[in-house]
Amino acid sequence: MSDVTAGHIVRSYDEELAALRTLVLDMGVLVLEQTSAAVGALSQGEIEQARRVLDRERKVAYLVLDADDMIFNLIAKRQPAAIDLRLVLALSKVVAHLERVGSRAGRIAWSVVNLLERGNQQPSAKILHHVTRLHQLATEMLQRSLDALANTDVDAALEVFADNIVLDQEIDAAMRHLMTFVLEDPALVGQVLELVLAMRALSCIGDQGGNIAEQIVFIAKGKDVRYQNREILIDALRQRAPSH
């Protein structure tokens, strides 16, 4: 759909909405970088990189405060209605979802610190395989949801919902596989526990992509699709989407 921030008679209103969306997308870039840096630190045993991730968490917090300030002022000054109101409310929720991504990236960084600082060994590539796979899936979901947000693209949001189902299946399989390592060598329990926490964090990051995709449906269609069965939702939205 055409740019949802544009077309107001008062152009400064366009600019304020676009600036808010840009800030939110910038926040998306930052938390994706945080996630990748944390997973990189985990797979390469880089404790300093993990610490840098933790240091940068405050940057995410500053962006949250900036976004909240912009939203607060926009509502007070413009009293947005219809799609503008939906956009502002949705971006407010997206900020909270991205904040959570940042926090989960921090959790992965803490796992690195725990593993390396407390004397546990660096996990083997065989064990880390699942982390790599989940990282790829989760960040793809988040990237795609942010791309869909930039374009208010419901079709792309539907793909994120579909990926969410795959992510859930992958995490179940990964957990089962990790347990086999513990059964083979109980000494690995500490290591595996940290990896379970890291993988849960990645699952949560992917889920935030799904949550952002829900907000895109809300912006474009005015329907609140939170807490709905994703498979049913995909079917319903695909049936209603116009043909090419």
Partner 1 sequence: MNTLAAQPNFGARAPGAITATDLVEDSSFTETIGDFTSPNARMVCRDVDVYYSGKQAIKNVSLDIGKNEVVSMIGPSGCGKSTFLRCLNRMNDTIPGCKVSGRIELDGTDIYDKKRDVVPLRAKIGMVFQKPNPFPKSVYENVAFGPRIHGLTNSKAALDELVEQSLRKAGLWDEAKDRLDQPGTGLSGGQQQRLCIARTIAVSPEVILMDEPCSALDPIATAVIEELINELRKNYTIAIVTHSMQQAARVSHRTAYFHLGDLIEVGETNQIFTSPKHKLTEDYVTGRFG
- CA proximity to 13, closest of 85, 69, 89, 93: 85
Q: Residue 156 carries which side chain, given as an amino acid letter?
A: A
Report the C-alpha gap between 161 and 213 in whole angstroms: 7
> Whose Cβ is closer to partner 1: residue 28's or residue 210's?
28
CB of 184 to partner 1, least distance (A): 25
CB of 120 to partner 1, least distance (A): 20
As given in the structure block, the two tokens for residue 198 are 């890291």
> Whose Cβ is closer to partner 1: residue 119's or residue 242's?
242
CB of 95 to partner 1, least distance (A): 15
- Contacting residues for 90 by C-beta, under 8 A, at least 6 apart: 215, 216, 218, 219
CB of 140 to partner 1, least distance (A): 10
> Whose Cβ is closer to partner 1: residue 7's or residue 235's?
7
> Whose Cβ is closer to partner 1: residue 33's or residue 168's?
33
Report the C-alpha gap between 51 and 137 in whole angstroms: 24
Judged by the rule CB under 8 A, the positions of this chain that interact with partner 1 are 1, 7-10, 13, 25, 28-29, 32-33, 36-37, 39-41, 43-44, 79-86, 132, 135, 139, 143, 146-147, 149-156, 220-222, 240-242, 244
131-157 burial string, b = 16+ CB within 10 Å, else e? bebbbebbbbbbebbbebbbbbbbebb
Report the largest interatomic distance among the alpha carbons of the chain, rounded to a whole angstrom.
68
> Whose Cβ is closer to partner 1: residue 3's or residue 185's?
3
CB of 185 to partner 1, least distance (A): 25
